[in-house]
Amino acid sequence: KYYRTPPNLYMTFQPEHMEQFSPMEALRKGTLWKDLYDFYENPYRGGDAHGKKG
């Protein structure tokens, strides 16, 4: 089995002045704050996070 835990599990509070994505990039990534972004790489599919091989 493979488990990946998101970084927000380890943050007990939201610090002030966290670096932010632009609004459009935040919509694509699913979070406004860069410290809370963590892409999911499927270990069974191969390739990168978007399924592209090579």
31: nearest Cα among 11, 45, 47, 53:
11
The confidence score (pLDDT) of residue 6 equals 79
Note the pLDDT tens digit of each residue in 4-35.
787 778 888 878 899 999 999 999 988 899 98
pTM equals 0.57
| Spatial separation of the C-alpha atoms in residues 29 and 48, rounded to whole Å | 15
